[in-house]
Structure 1
Amino acid sequence: MRRVTVRNATFQQWETLLTNRTKRHRAGHVLVQGVRPITVAVESGLAVREWLVDGDRTLSSWASELTARVRAPRYAVSPELLRELGGKDDAAPEVLAVVALPDDDLARLAARAADDGAPLLAVALDRPTSPGNVGTVARSVDAFGGTASS
Protein backbone atom coordinates (compact mmCIF):
# COMPACT_ATOMS: atom_id res chain seq x y z
CA MET A 1 0.00 0.00 0.00
CA ARG A 2 1.44 3.34 -1.06
CA ARG A 3 1.27 6.31 1.30
CA VAL A 4 0.26 9.78 0.18
CA THR A 5 0.93 12.44 2.80
CA VAL A 6 1.70 15.51 0.68
CA ARG A 7 0.02 17.27 -2.22
CA ASN A 8 1.98 15.34 -4.85
CA ALA A 9 1.07 14.49 -8.46
CA THR A 10 -1.09 11.54 -7.38
CA PHE A 11 -3.10 13.75 -5.03
CA GLN A 12 -3.47 16.38 -7.74
CA GLN A 13 -4.91 13.76 -10.12
CA TRP A 14 -7.54 12.81 -7.52
CA GLU A 15 -8.29 16.47 -6.91
CA THR A 16 -8.76 16.98 -10.66
CA LEU A 17 -11.41 14.23 -10.66
CA LEU A 18 -13.42 16.45 -8.31
CA THR A 19 -12.83 19.84 -9.87
CA ASN A 20 -12.37 19.43 -13.62
CA ARG A 21 -15.26 17.87 -15.52
CA THR A 22 -13.40 17.74 -18.83
CA LYS A 23 -10.40 15.92 -17.37
CA ARG A 24 -12.69 13.64 -15.33
CA HIS A 25 -14.55 12.53 -18.46
CA ARG A 26 -11.33 12.22 -20.44
CA ALA A 27 -9.86 10.01 -17.70
CA GLY A 28 -13.08 8.02 -17.45
CA HIS A 29 -13.02 8.05 -13.65
CA VAL A 30 -14.81 9.78 -10.83
CA LEU A 31 -14.04 10.10 -7.12
CA VAL A 32 -16.89 8.63 -5.06
CA GLN A 33 -17.35 9.49 -1.40
CA GLY A 34 -19.81 8.36 1.24
CA VAL A 35 -20.97 4.96 2.44
CA ARG A 36 -24.14 4.81 0.34
CA PRO A 37 -22.65 6.15 -2.94
CA ILE A 38 -19.65 3.83 -2.72
CA THR A 39 -21.87 0.85 -1.88
CA VAL A 40 -24.23 1.63 -4.76
CA ALA A 41 -21.31 2.04 -7.19
CA VAL A 42 -19.90 -1.35 -6.21
CA GLU A 43 -23.30 -3.10 -6.22
CA SER A 44 -24.02 -1.61 -9.66
CA GLY A 45 -20.92 -3.30 -11.00
CA LEU A 46 -18.86 -0.17 -11.59
CA ALA A 47 -15.14 -0.92 -11.53
CA VAL A 48 -13.20 0.47 -8.57
CA ARG A 49 -9.79 1.56 -9.85
CA GLU A 50 -8.28 2.72 -6.53
CA TRP A 51 -9.16 2.84 -2.86
CA LEU A 52 -8.09 5.87 -0.82
CA VAL A 53 -8.14 4.98 2.87
CA ASP A 54 -7.29 6.87 6.02
CA GLY A 55 -3.74 5.82 6.77
CA ASP A 56 -3.98 6.79 10.43
CA ARG A 57 -6.94 4.73 11.64
CA THR A 58 -8.43 1.27 11.53
CA LEU A 59 -11.18 0.93 8.96
CA SER A 60 -14.75 0.09 9.95
CA SER A 61 -16.01 -3.42 9.22
CA TRP A 62 -17.96 -2.06 6.21
CA ALA A 63 -14.85 -0.44 4.68
CA SER A 64 -12.59 -3.40 5.51
CA GLU A 65 -14.97 -5.92 3.94
CA LEU A 66 -15.59 -3.80 0.85
CA THR A 67 -11.94 -3.03 0.15
CA ALA A 68 -11.05 -6.70 0.66
CA ARG A 69 -13.88 -7.94 -1.60
CA VAL A 70 -13.25 -5.46 -4.41
CA ARG A 71 -9.60 -5.73 -5.35
CA ALA A 72 -7.94 -2.49 -6.41
CA PRO A 73 -4.74 -0.66 -5.46
CA ARG A 74 -4.96 0.92 -2.01
CA TYR A 75 -3.46 4.23 -0.99
CA ALA A 76 -3.00 5.20 2.65
CA VAL A 77 -3.81 8.90 2.55
CA SER A 78 -3.23 11.35 5.39
CA PRO A 79 -6.40 12.54 7.15
CA GLU A 80 -5.70 16.14 6.11
CA LEU A 81 -5.63 15.23 2.42
CA LEU A 82 -8.69 12.97 2.74
CA ARG A 83 -10.53 15.84 4.42
CA GLU A 84 -9.65 18.04 1.47
CA LEU A 85 -10.81 15.47 -1.08
CA GLY A 86 -13.94 14.74 0.92
CA GLY A 87 -14.85 18.42 1.17
CA LYS A 88 -15.19 18.19 4.95
CA ASP A 89 -13.88 20.69 7.45
CA ASP A 90 -14.62 18.65 10.55
CA ALA A 91 -13.70 15.03 9.80
CA ALA A 92 -11.92 13.06 7.13
CA PRO A 93 -13.83 10.27 5.37
CA GLU A 94 -12.43 6.84 6.13
CA VAL A 95 -12.48 5.73 2.49
CA LEU A 96 -12.93 7.19 -0.99
CA ALA A 97 -13.10 5.24 -4.24
CA VAL A 98 -11.85 6.11 -7.70
CA VAL A 99 -14.51 4.50 -9.89
CA ALA A 100 -14.64 4.01 -13.64
CA LEU A 101 -17.45 5.95 -15.27
CA PRO A 102 -20.01 3.75 -17.00
CA ASP A 103 -20.33 3.87 -20.76
CA ASP A 104 -22.34 6.88 -21.86
CA ASP A 105 -25.05 4.70 -23.37
CA LEU A 106 -28.70 4.95 -22.34
CA ALA A 107 -29.27 1.43 -23.69
CA ARG A 108 -27.74 0.11 -20.44
CA LEU A 109 -30.80 1.37 -18.55
CA ALA A 110 -34.01 -0.62 -18.62
CA ALA A 111 -37.03 1.60 -19.30
CA ARG A 112 -40.15 0.16 -17.73
CA ALA A 113 -43.48 1.41 -16.50
CA ALA A 114 -44.27 1.44 -12.80
CA ASP A 115 -45.66 -1.76 -11.24
CA ASP A 116 -49.10 -0.16 -11.01
CA GLY A 117 -49.19 0.44 -14.78
CA ALA A 118 -48.50 4.18 -14.53
CA PRO A 119 -46.53 5.58 -17.46
CA LEU A 120 -42.76 5.78 -17.28
CA LEU A 121 -41.35 8.81 -15.47
CA ALA A 122 -37.77 9.37 -16.59
CA VAL A 123 -35.14 12.01 -15.95
CA ALA A 124 -31.89 12.43 -17.83
CA LEU A 125 -29.11 14.63 -16.45
CA ASP A 126 -26.50 16.00 -18.82
CA ARG A 127 -23.28 16.79 -16.98
CA PRO A 128 -24.68 18.11 -13.69
CA THR A 129 -22.34 20.59 -12.04
CA SER A 130 -22.85 19.51 -8.44
CA PRO A 131 -23.60 16.27 -6.58
CA GLY A 132 -26.19 18.30 -4.66
CA ASN A 133 -28.07 18.94 -7.90
CA VAL A 134 -28.23 15.21 -8.59
CA GLY A 135 -29.51 14.58 -5.06
CA THR A 136 -32.21 17.22 -5.44
CA VAL A 137 -33.39 15.70 -8.72
CA ALA A 138 -33.35 12.18 -7.21
CA ARG A 139 -35.47 13.31 -4.25
CA SER A 140 -37.91 15.04 -6.61
CA VAL A 141 -38.25 11.94 -8.78
CA ASP A 142 -38.84 9.85 -5.65
CA ALA A 143 -41.52 12.30 -4.48
CA PHE A 144 -43.32 11.88 -7.82
CA GLY A 145 -43.19 8.08 -7.56
CA GLY A 146 -40.26 7.46 -9.88
CA THR A 147 -38.05 4.38 -9.57
CA ALA A 148 -34.56 3.53 -10.72
CA SER A 149 -33.30 0.60 -12.71
CA SER A 150 -30.02 -0.19 -14.38
Structure 2
Amino acid sequence: MPGMQYINLDRETNDFQHLEVLKRNRNKRHRYGEIFVESVACINALLATGWELTSVAYHGERELSSWAKEVIATGNPQKVFRLIGPLMEKLSEREEPSELIVTAKMKRQGLEDIPLTDSTTLLIFDRPSNHGNLGSIMRSSDAFGVNGIITTGHSVDIYDPVVLRASLGAFFHLPVIHCPSIRELGQWLDRVRAEVPGFKVVGTSPSAHRMLHEIDLTGPVALVVGNEFSGVSRAITEMVDEMALIPMQGTVDSLNAACAGTVALYEMVRQRLTVHR
Protein backbone atom coordinates (compact mmCIF):
# COMPACT_ATOMS: atom_id res chain seq x y z
CA MET A 1 0.00 0.00 0.00
CA PRO A 2 1.42 3.45 -0.95
CA GLY A 3 3.18 5.25 1.87
CA MET A 4 3.25 2.22 4.18
CA GLN A 5 6.74 1.19 5.29
CA TYR A 6 7.44 -2.39 6.43
CA ILE A 7 10.36 -2.72 8.86
CA ASN A 8 11.86 -5.92 10.29
CA LEU A 9 13.00 -5.62 13.91
CA ASP A 10 15.28 -8.29 15.36
CA ARG A 11 16.93 -6.09 18.00
CA GLU A 12 16.11 -3.09 20.16
CA THR A 13 16.52 -0.35 17.59
CA ASN A 14 15.38 3.26 17.94
CA ASP A 15 12.01 2.25 16.50
CA PHE A 16 11.56 -0.43 19.16
CA GLN A 17 12.63 1.93 21.93
CA HIS A 18 10.10 4.49 20.67
CA LEU A 19 7.34 1.90 21.05
CA GLU A 20 8.54 1.06 24.56
CA VAL A 21 8.64 4.73 25.53
CA LEU A 22 5.04 5.22 24.40
CA LYS A 23 4.02 2.30 26.56
CA ARG A 24 5.89 3.20 29.73
CA ASN A 25 6.57 6.93 29.84
CA ARG A 26 3.68 9.33 30.43
CA ASN A 27 5.65 12.50 29.72
CA LYS A 28 7.02 11.24 26.42
CA ARG A 29 3.60 9.97 25.33
CA HIS A 30 2.34 13.52 25.64
CA ARG A 31 5.49 15.03 24.13
CA TYR A 32 5.24 12.83 21.03
CA GLY A 33 1.44 13.03 20.94
CA GLU A 34 1.05 9.28 20.47
CA ILE A 35 -0.67 6.48 22.37
CA PHE A 36 0.16 2.77 22.68
CA VAL A 37 -2.79 0.40 22.28
CA GLU A 38 -3.24 -3.36 22.44
CA SER A 39 -6.20 -5.78 22.67
CA VAL A 40 -8.77 -6.49 19.99
CA ALA A 41 -11.51 -4.48 21.73
CA CYS A 42 -9.38 -1.36 22.03
CA ILE A 43 -7.98 -1.51 18.50
CA ASN A 44 -11.46 -2.03 17.04
CA ALA A 45 -12.82 0.90 19.05
CA LEU A 46 -9.90 3.11 18.06
CA LEU A 47 -10.48 2.48 14.36
CA ALA A 48 -14.27 2.77 14.64
CA THR A 49 -13.96 6.24 16.19
CA GLY A 50 -11.52 7.65 13.65
CA TRP A 51 -8.19 7.72 15.48
CA GLU A 52 -5.21 7.91 13.11
CA LEU A 53 -2.81 4.96 13.27
CA THR A 54 0.88 5.78 13.17
CA SER A 55 2.28 2.24 13.41
CA VAL A 56 1.42 -1.42 13.81
CA ALA A 57 3.67 -4.09 15.36
CA TYR A 58 3.26 -7.86 15.16
CA HIS A 59 5.13 -11.16 15.51
CA GLY A 60 6.78 -11.42 12.11
CA GLU A 61 7.15 -15.20 12.26
CA ARG A 62 3.41 -15.87 12.55
CA GLU A 63 0.65 -15.75 9.97
CA LEU A 64 -1.68 -12.82 10.55
CA SER A 65 -5.39 -13.41 11.04
CA SER A 66 -7.91 -11.88 8.67
CA TRP A 67 -8.77 -9.38 11.43
CA ALA A 68 -5.15 -8.24 11.73
CA LYS A 69 -4.77 -7.89 7.97
CA GLU A 70 -7.94 -5.79 7.90
CA VAL A 71 -6.63 -3.52 10.67
CA ILE A 72 -3.45 -2.85 8.69
CA ALA A 73 -5.33 -2.33 5.44
CA THR A 74 -7.99 0.02 6.82
CA GLY A 75 -5.79 1.77 9.38
CA ASN A 76 -3.09 2.52 6.79
CA PRO A 77 -0.31 3.18 9.35
CA GLN A 78 2.90 4.93 8.37
CA LYS A 79 5.02 2.02 9.63
CA VAL A 80 4.43 -1.71 10.06
CA PHE A 81 6.95 -3.46 12.31
CA ARG A 82 7.62 -7.19 12.04
CA LEU A 83 9.15 -8.20 15.38
CA ILE A 84 10.92 -11.39 16.39
CA GLY A 85 9.14 -13.31 19.16
CA PRO A 86 11.21 -12.14 22.16
CA LEU A 87 10.77 -8.48 21.21
CA MET A 88 7.01 -8.89 20.79
CA GLU A 89 6.79 -10.61 24.17
CA LYS A 90 8.81 -7.86 25.82
CA LEU A 91 6.65 -5.17 24.28
CA SER A 92 3.37 -6.82 25.24
CA GLU A 93 4.26 -8.27 28.68
CA ARG A 94 1.05 -10.31 28.64
CA GLU A 95 0.87 -14.07 29.16
CA GLU A 96 -0.53 -14.32 25.66
CA PRO A 97 1.00 -11.44 23.67
CA SER A 98 -1.46 -9.49 21.57
CA GLU A 99 -1.51 -10.34 17.88
CA LEU A 100 -1.20 -6.64 17.09
CA ILE A 101 0.07 -3.62 18.96
CA VAL A 102 -0.71 -0.24 17.45
CA THR A 103 0.21 3.36 18.06
CA ALA A 104 -2.01 6.29 17.14
CA LYS A 105 -1.99 10.06 17.17
CA MET A 106 -3.28 11.42 20.47
CA LYS A 107 -6.56 13.32 20.35
CA ARG A 108 -6.33 16.18 22.82
CA GLN A 109 -9.73 17.10 24.22
CA GLY A 110 -10.91 19.76 26.65
CA LEU A 111 -13.97 20.44 28.76
CA GLU A 112 -15.52 22.29 25.82
CA ASP A 113 -15.68 18.96 23.93
CA ILE A 114 -18.25 17.52 26.35
CA PRO A 115 -21.76 17.81 24.83
CA LEU A 116 -24.21 19.71 27.03
CA THR A 117 -27.94 18.94 26.83
CA ASP A 118 -30.92 18.99 29.18
CA SER A 119 -30.03 15.39 30.11
CA THR A 120 -26.25 15.76 30.38
CA THR A 121 -24.61 13.10 32.56
CA LEU A 122 -21.00 13.42 33.67
CA LEU A 123 -18.67 11.31 35.77
CA ILE A 124 -15.95 13.16 37.68
CA PHE A 125 -13.19 10.97 39.12
CA ASP A 126 -11.20 12.98 41.64
CA ARG A 127 -7.47 12.16 41.49
CA PRO A 128 -7.68 8.48 40.43
CA SER A 129 -4.54 6.60 41.40
CA ASN A 130 -5.34 3.11 40.14
CA HIS A 131 -5.17 2.35 36.41
CA GLY A 132 -7.65 -0.52 36.59
CA ASN A 133 -10.23 1.52 38.49
CA LEU A 134 -10.09 4.34 35.97
CA GLY A 135 -10.47 1.94 33.06
CA SER A 136 -13.36 0.17 34.78
CA ILE A 137 -15.18 3.44 35.40
CA MET A 138 -14.79 4.30 31.72
CA ARG A 139 -16.39 0.97 30.87
CA SER A 140 -19.30 1.55 33.28
CA SER A 141 -19.74 5.12 32.08
CA ASP A 142 -20.07 3.99 28.49
CA ALA A 143 -22.53 1.27 29.51
CA PHE A 144 -24.77 3.70 31.40
CA GLY A 145 -24.77 6.50 28.83
CA VAL A 146 -22.43 9.06 30.37
CA ASN A 147 -21.66 12.04 28.10
CA GLY A 148 -18.15 12.65 29.41
CA ILE A 149 -15.58 11.68 32.05
CA ILE A 150 -13.37 14.19 33.84
CA THR A 151 -10.35 13.31 35.95
CA THR A 152 -8.85 15.90 38.26
CA GLY A 153 -5.58 16.90 39.85
CA HIS A 154 -2.61 14.56 40.10
CA SER A 155 -3.92 11.33 38.62
CA VAL A 156 -2.95 8.37 36.50
CA ASP A 157 -2.67 9.16 32.79
CA ILE A 158 -5.96 8.75 30.94
CA TYR A 159 -3.92 7.54 27.93
CA ASP A 160 -1.99 4.88 29.86
CA PRO A 161 -2.12 1.53 27.99
CA VAL A 162 -3.30 -0.26 31.16
CA VAL A 163 -6.18 2.21 31.53
CA LEU A 164 -7.16 1.81 27.89
CA ARG A 165 -7.09 -1.98 28.10
CA ALA A 166 -9.14 -2.00 31.32
CA SER A 167 -11.75 0.17 29.61
CA LEU A 168 -12.30 -2.52 26.93
CA GLY A 169 -12.30 0.24 24.35
CA ALA A 170 -14.85 2.45 26.13
CA PHE A 171 -12.23 5.23 26.32
CA PHE A 172 -12.57 5.78 22.58
CA HIS A 173 -16.36 6.11 22.62
CA LEU A 174 -16.80 9.12 24.89
CA PRO A 175 -14.91 12.29 25.82
CA VAL A 176 -12.38 11.63 28.58
CA ILE A 177 -10.72 14.81 29.80
CA HIS A 178 -8.04 15.38 32.38
CA CYS A 179 -8.47 18.73 34.14
CA PRO A 180 -5.51 19.38 36.46
CA SER A 181 -6.80 22.82 37.48
CA ILE A 182 -9.48 22.74 40.19
CA ARG A 183 -10.21 26.39 39.52
CA GLU A 184 -10.83 25.74 35.82
CA LEU A 185 -13.14 22.83 36.66
CA GLY A 186 -15.10 24.94 39.14
CA GLN A 187 -15.57 27.74 36.63
CA TRP A 188 -16.68 25.28 33.97
CA LEU A 189 -19.21 23.62 36.29
CA ASP A 190 -20.64 27.06 37.08
CA ARG A 191 -21.07 27.66 33.35
CA VAL A 192 -22.83 24.31 33.00
CA ARG A 193 -25.19 25.24 35.85
CA ALA A 194 -25.98 28.49 34.04
CA GLU A 195 -26.56 26.81 30.67
CA VAL A 196 -28.31 23.60 31.74
CA PRO A 197 -31.41 24.11 33.94
CA GLY A 198 -31.51 21.75 36.91
CA PHE A 199 -27.90 20.60 36.57
CA LYS A 200 -26.31 19.55 39.85
CA VAL A 201 -23.18 17.90 41.15
CA VAL A 202 -23.57 14.88 43.44
CA GLY A 203 -20.64 13.34 45.29
CA THR A 204 -20.28 10.00 47.06
CA SER A 205 -18.90 9.68 50.57
CA PRO A 206 -19.18 7.17 53.46
CA SER A 207 -19.73 10.17 55.77
CA ALA A 208 -22.68 11.61 53.83
CA HIS A 209 -26.04 11.91 55.62
CA ARG A 210 -28.40 11.17 52.71
CA MET A 211 -28.71 7.82 50.98
CA LEU A 212 -27.94 7.71 47.27
CA HIS A 213 -31.46 6.54 46.39
CA GLU A 214 -32.97 9.51 48.28
CA ILE A 215 -31.34 12.02 45.94
CA ASP A 216 -33.05 12.88 42.65
CA LEU A 217 -30.75 11.80 39.81
CA THR A 218 -33.32 12.00 37.02
CA GLY A 219 -32.12 15.37 35.74
CA PRO A 220 -28.78 16.53 34.34
CA VAL A 221 -26.07 15.56 36.80
CA ALA A 222 -22.37 15.15 37.42
CA LEU A 223 -21.55 12.22 39.70
CA VAL A 224 -18.31 12.55 41.65
CA VAL A 225 -16.19 9.61 42.78
CA GLY A 226 -13.25 10.21 45.10
CA ASN A 227 -9.67 9.01 45.21
CA GLU A 228 -9.30 5.35 46.21
CA PHE A 229 -7.59 6.23 49.50
CA SER A 230 -8.65 9.74 50.52
CA GLY A 231 -12.07 10.12 48.92
CA VAL A 232 -13.37 13.36 47.43
CA SER A 233 -10.99 16.25 48.15
CA ARG A 234 -12.10 19.32 50.09
CA ALA A 235 -11.69 21.49 47.00
CA ILE A 236 -14.01 19.27 44.95
CA THR A 237 -16.45 18.89 47.86
CA GLU A 238 -16.95 22.66 47.79
CA MET A 239 -18.25 22.34 44.21
CA VAL A 240 -20.72 19.58 45.11
CA ASP A 241 -24.41 20.35 45.61
CA GLU A 242 -25.21 17.14 47.52
CA MET A 243 -23.22 14.29 49.03
CA ALA A 244 -24.63 10.78 48.88
CA LEU A 245 -24.07 7.66 50.97
CA ILE A 246 -24.18 4.27 49.26
CA PRO A 247 -26.07 1.97 51.68
CA MET A 248 -24.11 -1.10 52.76
CA GLN A 249 -25.03 -3.95 55.09
CA GLY A 250 -21.66 -5.51 55.85
CA THR A 251 -18.70 -4.52 57.99
CA VAL A 252 -16.84 -2.38 55.43
CA ASP A 253 -17.73 1.31 55.18
CA SER A 254 -16.61 2.03 51.62
CA LEU A 255 -16.39 0.49 48.17
CA ASN A 256 -13.66 0.28 45.57
CA ALA A 257 -13.83 3.53 43.56
CA ALA A 258 -14.85 1.78 40.35
CA CYS A 259 -17.58 -0.13 42.21
CA ALA A 260 -18.86 3.05 43.88
CA GLY A 261 -19.01 4.84 40.55
CA THR A 262 -20.83 1.94 38.92
CA VAL A 263 -23.38 1.76 41.75
CA ALA A 264 -24.04 5.50 41.47
CA LEU A 265 -24.46 5.27 37.70
CA TYR A 266 -26.83 2.31 38.04
CA GLU A 267 -28.96 4.19 40.56
CA MET A 268 -29.14 7.14 38.19
CA VAL A 269 -30.32 4.93 35.31
CA ARG A 270 -32.76 3.06 37.59
CA GLN A 271 -34.40 6.32 38.63
CA ARG A 272 -34.66 7.55 35.05
CA LEU A 273 -36.18 4.30 33.82
CA THR A 274 -38.71 4.38 36.67
CA VAL A 275 -39.75 7.94 35.83
CA HIS A 276 -40.29 7.09 32.16
CA ARG A 277 -42.38 3.97 32.69
Shorter-chain TM-score tier:
0.7 to 0.9
Which structure 1 residue ranges, 4+ long, deviate > 4 Å from structure 2?
124-131
**Shift in CA distance, 86/104, structure 1 to aligned 2, threshold 3 Å:** same
Residue in 2 that maps onto 1:120: 120
SS at match of 2:109: coil
* Structure 1 position 146, deviation (Å): 3.3
The reply on whether 1:99 has 2:104 as its aligned counterpart is yes
* Aligned partner of 2:51 among 37, 41, 46: 46
Which string of whole-angstrom CA distances, capped at 9 and with x for unpartnered residues, describes residues 15-43 of structure 1? 11111101100100011000010111111
More strand by percentage = 2
Q: How does 1:47-66 map to 2 (within 5 A)?
A: 47-66=52-71
Q: Whole-Å Cα distance in 1 between the matches of residues 85 and 136 of structure 2?
A: 29
Q: How does 1:6-25 map to 2 (within 5 A)?
A: 6-25=11-30
* Structure 1 position 106, deviation (Å): 3.5
**Match of 2:93, as an amino acid?**
G
Residue in 1 that maps onto 2:208: none
**Match of 2:122, as an amino acid?**
A
Q: Whole-Å Cα distance in 1 between the matches of residues 128 and 112 of structure 2?
A: 20
State percent identity of aligned pairs. 27
Q: Provide the TM-score with structure 2 as the length reference.
A: 0.46
**Shift in CA distance, 25/82, structure 1 to aligned 2, threshold 3 Å:** same
* Structure 1 position 109, deviation (Å): 3.9
In the alignment of these two chains, the number of paired residues is: 143
Which string of whole-angstrom CA distances, capped at 9 and with x for unpartnered residues, describes residues 43-74 of structure 1? 11110001112201111111111111121121
**Shift in CA distance, 31/134, structure 1 to aligned 2, threshold 3 Å:** same
Residue in 2 that maps onto 1:75: 81
Task: List runs of 5+ in structure 1 lacking aligned partners.
Answer: 114-118
CA contact (8 A) 2:123 2:146 kept: no
Q: Whole-Å Cα distance in 2 between the matches of residues 39 and 132 of structure 1?
A: 20
The reply on whether 1:146 has 2:126 as its aligned counterpart is no
**Match of 1:58, as an amino acid?**
E
Q: Whole-Å Cα distance in 1 between the matches of residues 127 and 53 of structure 2?
A: 21
Max Rg structure: 2
Higher relative contact order (CA 8 A, sep 6+): 1
Residue in 2 that maps onto 1:116: none
